[in-house]
């Protein structure tokens, strides 16, 4: 019985985001949604932190969004979970800001594009230039950041599994993922800009 449960868990972790959404919509099993949402937690936290400017409020927002999203009937009909979740999370944060009557000014430099880029670093749709930039930038990360990112995005491991594998504390694992992703994004942007410049100069 234990082996069967472990095999089922491994199978679910190997599904793509689209497959998880489809399974949840057709089979209505919470385990598929939980796995899908888990993959978005670090990036949702980053988005909420950007708006709310407070770590505890951002953490609470991620949990509140989970509760609201998991019971939302739109989950059963949407086709693009990524865009839908981004809009949902952004509106939640704006609502929280209005509730607190705080005058917060957020840098709105197309954060949806940044949100999108963060989610696509480890997918199978990268261009050759992006793949080269990713390879270069992964090597520039410190070992802890690189391993945690690869465990989380490539292997789709949970925080608990990464903690068990690396021996790091939960707070350190989350920090390595968040900081590593930010460093990776900045590095890739520089590498792509450099490649574009070199290509232009060769014309």
pLDDT, tens digit (0-9, with 9 covering 90-100), for 19-49:
998 998 898 888 999 999 999 998 899 889 8
Condensed to tens digits (0 to 9), the pLDDT of residues 94-113 reads 888 877 654 444 444 344 44
Cβ pair 72, 84 in contact under 8 A: no
DSSP letter string, 62-107: HHHHHHHHHT-GGGGT-S-HHHHHHHHHHHHHHHHHHHTT------
- Per-domain residue ranges for the chain? 1-120, 123-203
Q: Which CATH class is domain 123-203?
A: mainly alpha
List b or e across 16-35, with b for residues whose CB sees 16 or more CB atoms inside 10 angstroms.
ebeebbebbbeeeeeebbeb
* Token pair 């990036």 in the structure block, residue: 43
Distances (CA, A) of 200 to 131, 189, 193, 194, 203: 19, 17, 11, 10, 5
| Phi-psi group of 110: left, alpha or beta (phi > 0 → left; psi -120 to 50 → alpha; rest → beta) | left
Lowest mean per-residue pLDDT among 6-15, 57-66, 150-159 = 6-15
Output the pLDDT for position 119.
44
């Amino acid at each position: 019985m234990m082996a069967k449960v472990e095999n089922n868990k491994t199978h679910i972790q190997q599904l793509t985001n689209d497959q998880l959404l489809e399974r949840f919509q057709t089979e209505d099993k919470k385990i598929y949604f939980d796995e899908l949402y888990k993959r978005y937690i670090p990036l949702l936290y980053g988005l909420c932190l950007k708006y709310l400017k407070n770590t505890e409020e951002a953490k609470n927002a991620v949990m509140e969004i989970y509760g609201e999203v998991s019971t939302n009937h739109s989950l059963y009909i949407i086709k693009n979970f990524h865009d839908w979740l981004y809009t949902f999370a952004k509106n939640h944060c704006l609502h929280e800001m209005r509730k607190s009557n705080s005058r917060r000014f957020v840098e709105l430099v197309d954060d949806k594009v940044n949100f999108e880029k963060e989610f696509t670093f480890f997918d199978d749709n990268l261009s050759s230039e992006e793949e080269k930039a990713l390879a270069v930038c992964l090597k520039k990360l410190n070992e802890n950041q690189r391993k945690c990112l690869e465990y989380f995005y490539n292997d789709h491991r949970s925080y608990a599994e990464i903690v068990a594998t690396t021996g790091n504390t939960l707070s350190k694992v989350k920090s390595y993922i968040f900081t590593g992703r930010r460093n990776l994004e900045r590095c890739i942007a520089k590498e792509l800009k450099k490649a574009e410049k070199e290509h232009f100069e060769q014309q």
